[in-house]
Amino acid sequence: MTRGSEPRYRPASDVLKGRVVLVTGAGAGIGRVAALAYARHGADVVLLGRTRSKLESVFDVIVAETATKPVIVPADLATLDEAAADNLAEAIREDYGRLDGILHNASVLGPRVPVAHYPADAWAEVMQVNAMAPVMLTRALLPLLEAAPDASIVFTSSGVGRVGRAYWGAYAVSKFATEGLSQTLADELEHTGVRVNALNPGGTRTAMRAAAYPAEDPATLPEPEAHMDLYLYLMGPDSEGVTGRSIDAPAWRGP
Ligand code: NDP
């Protein structure tokens, strides 16, 4: 992928070979494209999402196109608790024996209304899916990540996770939490082999973006594929030692 004339980063075709990577929200949007990109670069991908048929569609493409071993984990992060996160960790340990990376990608937008009118139950659900579920998954999976030689945790942020904006409500607050979790974890894990970074894809042509900006022409936006060099860089060995960063995909110029 290029911006102007210079390629930002050219991953080796097998840059993730032998790695096991969990992608949440892998059935649609950016998560689907990232899961496919990871598998096409050699990773065994654990596909987590709430709609089984969407995960099966990604699974089928991966099996048809690659020699990797994907697995489907239908799970609703709105109801994920510690026991469910522990069960997932145990299943990954049994299937693969290790975990080399997590892309925390799944999120919900929630209502676009003023804080004064935001329903409390909707606020709680957005915080659960976007902020709490990644905490529980990361905690349960940390022993498997620490057992890997150079594991990578990638959180998905947003522009409204750095500067709040009217009517973005719990979504913005959840993304501030994501940035805080990423920084805190990066600091705690500084002397381990686990690196932790946050990535803001910026405006991207997906269902979530269309819901947030219904009047916008989707054709004016980059597709998720435009960011995959950065998603591969952060997940693969070329970013070893890079931790505690928060990177905007559109502004990224390469390693
Ligand atoms: P989409 O809404 O297109 O896709 C979100 C994915 O997350 C879907 O696969 C969805 O599953 C899954 N998901 C949602 N809720 C749950 C849940 N409760 N349990 C399990 N899976 C769930 O979003 P994008 O691809 O646009 O966004 C991906 C990430 O990028 C998000 O973190 C978003 O905040 C961030 N982002 C996106 C931007 C954009 O312009 N698109 C800009 C800035 C940040 P299902 O399809 O089954 O509903």
Pick the atom of ligand 1 nearest to 32's CA.
9
Q: pLDDT class for 2, splitting at 50, 70, 90?
A: very low
Measured in Å, residue 107 CA sits from the centre of ligand 1 at 4
Dihedral sign (CA 209, 215, 219, 220): negative
| Active-site pick, 96, 118, 167, 171 | 171
Please state the pTM of the whole predicted model.
Answer: 0.97
Pocket test for ligand 1, best of 33, 56, 102, 105 (most atoms within 8 A of CB): 105
203: Cβ below 6 Å to ligand 1?
Answer: yes
pLDDT for 4: 56
Which tens digits make up the pLDDT trace of 169-188? 999 999 999 999 999 999 99
Range 10-34 average pLDDT: 98
Which tens digits make up the pLDDT trace of 50-101? 999 999 999 999 999 999 999 999 999 999 999 999 999 999 999 999 999 9
78: Cβ below 6 Å to ligand 1?
Answer: yes
129: Cβ below 6 Å to ligand 1?
Answer: yes
Is 217's pLDDT higher than 70? yes
Is 9 assigned a catalytic role? no
pLDDT for 1: 44
107: Cβ below 6 Å to ligand 1?
Answer: yes
Helix H, strand E, coil C: the string for the chain is CEECCEECCCCCCCCCCCCEEEEECCCCHHHHHHHHHHHHCCCEEEEEECCHHHHHHHHHHHHHHCCCCCEEEECCCCCCCHHHHHHHHHHHHHHHCCCCEEEECCCCCCCCCCHHHCCHHHHHHHHHHHHHHHHHHHHHHHHHHHCCCCCEEEEECCHHHCCCCCCCHHHHHHHHHHHHHHHHHHHHCCCCCCEEEEEECCCCCCHHHHHHCCCCCHHHCCCHHHHHHHHHHHHCHHHCCCCCCEEECCCCCCC
